[in-house]
Amino acid sequence: MKAARVVLFLLLIAFAGAAGQNDRYYDQPEQGAVHVTVLYPSTGTLRSILGLREQGLFPADLRVVGVYHAEERTDYSLSRAMVEEMGLDWFHFHRISAKLHPENLFGANECTPEFRNVFEHSDAMIFFGGADIPPYLYGEEASLLSEMTTPVRSFFELSFIFHLLGGFQDIDFVPFLQEAPNFPVLGICLGAQSLNVGTGGTLIQDIWTEIYECATYEAVIGLSRERWHTNPMARLYAEKGLLRYNMHCIRLLNDGLFVRDLSFSQADMPLVVSSHHQAVGKPGLGLTVIATSMDGRVAEAIGHRDYPAVLGVQFHPEFPMLYDASSTHRIHPDDEPSSLRAMLEANEPSFEFHRALWDWFFDKVKDCTDQ
């Protein structure tokens, strides 16, 4: 039976790979449907969306379209196979193959009409997490700690973001959102960093060395957990099976949308889960920091001055494990096993904060489609 399932899965991959030659959903999209475009439609992204749908946080009546560049290193045939095997008739793919290179990202290029087509048929966009952005794209030399393993993905997503929001790279460029300022755009972890770099901002290439001046994992462990951002224990003691993510509180700024639009206050310090070693440096054009680490030294969320439905979060509100009360984890070897959901619920208003974030985003999607 197991061998038969393996053969079936391989056949599905082969079928999806062949079908992938015509993955151009937005050339003939379903009329009247509400479409959420997701960049980087990997199997992990699919699992996150499925988990959110199961929790009722991602509306089930939406069409989701995974948009990617043909030269990305990720094997999206695995995602297509997953969609076929699970019968996810609400998930589609759109592959773009127009050429991009570092010199033509921030202005009109061969992808511009492709970006326009996707934008005009989308009702919202989500940029997900991933590997480091090549620092030469924001005018810096690369630290030895930067890992640039998916450069074409960076070219593609940064250029798309520039087309959406504009940037310091060319302040005369008229971005797409100028004609639809309430269009919802969400960036998660790398997605938030991409929003910043795409609009001409910079990144801190390594938080532990550049901000906290730590050269070893032991030195990082000596910091408070609020300053870890990813779990150094899991890297130093891999044999202990610790969660590689970190749970920590964030500080909400008074003029940001969390306080202004979601009815939280500066006194609220929601717990979030994170896994990153880089962070927003100089903000890009139009972007402002709206949440920070507890010590104020790391940007945890960014908003946009002109486009109120644009949000970037450095943490991970999409992780299924956040909403799963049955799976338990440890961050430190001395911790008692606990579910992340229990941790959120024990630290009010953390669980409410995550639900409110998704409610806000999809309320913005509804507002956008009603206009």
Tens-digit pLDDT profile for residues 95-153: 999 999 999 999 999 999 999 999 999 999 999 999 999 999 999 999 999 999 999 99
If you compute the radius of gyration of the chain from its CA atoms, what whole number of angstroms results? Answer: 20
- Each domain of the chain, given as residue ranges in start order, spans 2-370
**The pLDDT of residue 371:** 74
Contacts of 345 (CB under 8 A, 6+ apart): 351
Instruction: For 287, list phi and psi in degrees, rounded to 5.
Output: -90, 145
Bin 279: left if φ > 0, else alpha if -120 < ψ < 50, else beta.
Answer: beta
Q: Identify the helix (H) or strand (E) that includes residue 310.
A: strand 310-313
- Residue 39 neighbours by CB distance under 10 Å: 23
- Total-model pTM: 0.94
Q: Identify the helix (H) or strand (E) that includes residue 64.
A: strand 63-69
Per-residue pLDDT tens digits for 52-109: 999 999 999 999 999 999 999 999 999 999 999 999 999 999 999 999 999 999 999 9
Helices 43-54/77-86 angle, 10° precision: 30
Q: What is the CATH number of domain 2-370?
A: 3.40.50.880
Instruction: For 47, list phi and psi in degrees, rounded to 5.
Output: -65, -40
Q: Which DSSP letter does residue 161 get?
A: H
Per-residue pLDDT tens digits for 200-249: 999 999 999 999 999 999 999 999 999 999 999 999 999 999 999 999 99
